[in-house]
Amino acid sequence: MTDSKTALVTGASRGIGAAIALGLAQRGYDVALNGLPNQDHNLSQVATDIRALGQRAEVYHADVSNHTQVNSMAAAILHDFAKIDAIVNNAGILIAGAVDGLPEDAWDSVMDVNAKGSFMVIQSFLPAMKARNYGRIVNIASIGGKHGAPEQAHYSASKAAVMGFSRVLAQEVGPMGITVNCVCPGIILTEMGRVNLEDPQVRNAWQEKTALARIGDPEDVVGPVAFFASDESAFVTGQTLNVDGGIVFS
Ligand SMILES: NC(=O)c1ccc[n+]([C@@H]2O[C@H](COP(=O)([O-])OP(=O)(O)OC[C@H]3O[C@@H](n4cnc5c(N)ncnc54)[C@H](O)[C@@H]3O)[C@@H](O)[C@H]2O)c1
């Protein structure tokens, strides 16, 4: 029997999610890796890397915007690991488009994955967390939800929704020993981040705007997430932390 803590990381196939999953495993967590079926190859690789560290890793295919799939995933994880200590809602999408002319389905998709997906994953695990009087919920929002950039109004709205939801949930579940916090990455070099970074001029402009004068790596996000997932943050809840090298100062 292991006394490892168990964490779920959604969207764990690549980028920030894969870095968080590996970072939590390095800190002694067993990890449930969520992702889409078309990411199976990457998910299996992350699982292999975690097992090489001596921790348990299992892959669960589920679209976080699909209620039935989310509930089946939660049941399977609780069956396999017997408990859940931490949830990291990382799965997200960005579809660029200015407000005038933004297709309704682009708005819906971004809200469904980024905002509703986090809500449904959390809801599916709350009974198990409440039963143990313990839980750590970390939602990956974005500095985009605080000030944002052109062609990302719907993305910004989805991340602001995550932050508002988290502040209220923190008040609802605090008495049951469950904390809820948000991490707001800045400009991070991932598949998604490339949308902001493809044009060298745009990339340089972001770099100049950043106090630490560099673009972030997925690994830069891991420490703050691990803090909120751990007992080091036991008296911190309902907070949002910018992890952006110094772009947004609030
Ligand atoms: N990269 C950045 O600059 C940046 C900045 C701020 C916030 N973020 C946030 O960080 C998180 C990770 O982004 P990333 O940069 O690593 O992007 P990414 O595109 O590399 O990874 C996103 C992950 O989410 C998964 N995913 C997408 N839709 C899903 C769904 N419906 N169900 C399950 N999984 C799904 C993808 O398969 C992938 O594994 C996202 O929530 C994103 O909004 C990223």
139 domain residue, yes or no = yes
Q: What angle do CA 190, 117, 72 make, to 5 degrees?
A: 110
Model confidence at 2, pLDDT cuts 50, 70, 90, reads low
249 domain residue, yes or no = no
CA distances for 146 relative to 74, 157, 161, 249, 250, angstroms: 30, 9, 11, 10, 9
Would you call 97 helix, strand, or coil by DSSP? coil
- CATH number for position 150: 3.40.50.720
Q: How far is the CA of 93 from the centre of ligand 1 (A)?
A: 5
**Nearest alpha carbon, ligand 1 atom 41:** 92
Ligand 1 lined by 16 (C-beta under 6 Å): yes
Q: How far is the CA of 90 from the centre of ligand 1 (A)?
A: 6
Determine how β-strand 57-61 pairs with β-strand 5-9: unpaired
247 domain residue, yes or no = no
CA distances for 147 relative to 156, 160, 186, angstroms: 8, 10, 11
Q: Which of 16, 187, 219 to mutate to test the pocket of ligand 1 (most atoms within 8 A of CB)?
A: 16
250 domain residue, yes or no = no
Q: How far is the CA of 175 from the centre of ligand 1 (A)?
A: 31
96 domain residue, yes or no = yes
CA distances for 143 relative to 21, 54, 87, 119, angstroms: 22, 34, 20, 19
Contact between 9 and 31 under an 8 Å Cβ cutoff? The reply is yes
Ligand 1 lined by 113 (C-beta under 6 Å): yes
226 domain residue, yes or no = yes
Q: How far is the CA of 24 from the centre of ligand 1 (A)?
A: 17
What does the pLDDT look like over 27-45, one tens digit per residue?
999 999 999 999 999 999 9
What does the pLDDT look like over 157-205, one tens digit per residue?
999 999 999 999 999 999 999 999 999 999 999 999 887 788 899 899 9
172 domain residue, yes or no = yes
DSSP state of 212: T
Would you call 179 helix, strand, or coil by DSSP? strand
* Active site annotation includes 134: no
pLDDT of residue 112: 98
| Dist CA 166 CA 145 (whole Å) | 13
Ligand 1 lined by 188 (C-beta under 6 Å): yes
119 domain residue, yes or no = yes
What does the pLDDT look like over 110-149, one tens digit per residue?
999 999 999 999 999 999 999 999 999 999 999 999 989 8
pLDDT of residue 171: 98
Q: Residue 170 sits in which domain range?
A: 5-242
Higher pLDDT, 196 or 220: 220
Of the candidates 29, 60, 134, 155, the residue annotated as catalytic is 155
Number of domains in the chain: 1
